[in-house]
Every structure is written in structure tokens, then in C-alpha cells.
Amino acid sequence: MIKILLNDLNRQKKILFLYVIGICVISPFFEPLYSFFIFSIVSIRITNYSCKYDDDFNMHRFYSIVPNKRKLVVIEKHIFFSMLIITALIIIQIAKHYFNLISNNYEYIILLFIALFEYFYLILYFKKGSIYAMNMTRPVYFSIFIGIMLFGQFLKGDSTLKDNIQRGIYILTDSISYSIVIFIILTFLSILLSVYFYRKREL
């Protein structure tokens, strides 16, 4: 698994270098929420490129030689994505405190939404490949933006449901550990489902 991860890192080392530099340069000048959202999308693109590369060069044939390789590949892709998004989160948090940036810790809510989206992609990817996963998740991209706009309008109104939702958001942002625990749970569930489908996939 470490070798697979190192191959991924080495294959995209220039992009990853620019990714880290970009976070360091941009994060001091933007609100943490916006910076994290931007680089969360970039982390998705980098991870999805890695998946497409494996499909294009038929790396799955190599992974299928040893049965346990499939499980290791699944874990590696989740670690790869987690490394990218957590790196962005850590650097942005450092910039937030060092430059006294205003933040409500909403970036931890973004972390969970982005994780849900990318794990949905990875489950589909390990089930039927990158093209299938990409086609299935395109409508989700559109739905996310529409959902965010509608959600913003909803929070402007007055209702008991709105108050309950805001209370839930406050709990997640006030106690960061809750968001981290949920992120870990989502990662674990995604790995289980991905391994299940990948083992059934004909390569």
C-alpha cells in the first residue's frame, strides 16, 4: 500500500507541489471557508485524475495478481484523498490563526460535504470504473451548487427546522472533534463499500 501511495505521489509531484504552494499563498488573503472550498475541489480533481490514470493504463490487472492488493488499493486512494484535504485544512487553520482571519469554522462543514461527494465517487469508481463514476457524479456537482443556494435562502427564513439545523451546524463547528469523528466514520464506511464492490469487479 505504501508503494502504491508513493507511486501516486511521485506521479503527480509537480501538481502536488503547486497545490501546497497555492494553499500557502492564497489562504492568508481569503476567508478560510472560501480557501478551503477551492482547494477541496482541487483535491477532488487530483484524486480523480489518479483514478483515471489507473484505468487508462490498466493498473488494475497488476493489482489483481494478489487478492489482498484490491483492498490495499482502496485504502490507498482514500488515504491519498484524505492527505490532500487534511493538508489544505491544516495550512488554512495555521494561516487563520497567524493572520487573525475571521472564521466560523464552517470549513469543517465543507470537509464533510466534500468527503461525502468524493467517497460517493470512489465507491462508484471501484464498482465500475472512472468513466462510470464521473458520469454518475456530474449531476451531483450541479445539485450541490443548487442545494447550497436553496439552503442559504432557507436559513434566511424563520422556522423551527431552520433553528434546529443552525443548532446542529453550531455543534459541528464549535466542537471540531465531532466533525473529525464523522469524517473518519465516513472514510471507514466508504472503504468497506469500495472493497466490497472492487472485489466483485471483473478486471
DSSP state, 12?
A: T
Cell readout for 91 is 495550512
Q: Is the pLDDT of residue 179 over 80?
A: yes
pLDDT in tens, 128-139: 999 999 999 888
pLDDT in tens, 38-92: 899 899 999 999 999 999 988 877 776 665 678 999 999 999 999 999 999 999 9
| pLDDT score recorded for residue 90 | 93
| pLDDT score recorded for residue 200 | 87
Contact (Cβ atoms closer than 8 angstroms) between residue 47 and residue 84: yes
What integer is the mean pLDDT of 153-176?
60
Break the chain into its structural domains and give their ranges: 2-200
pTM summary value: 0.87
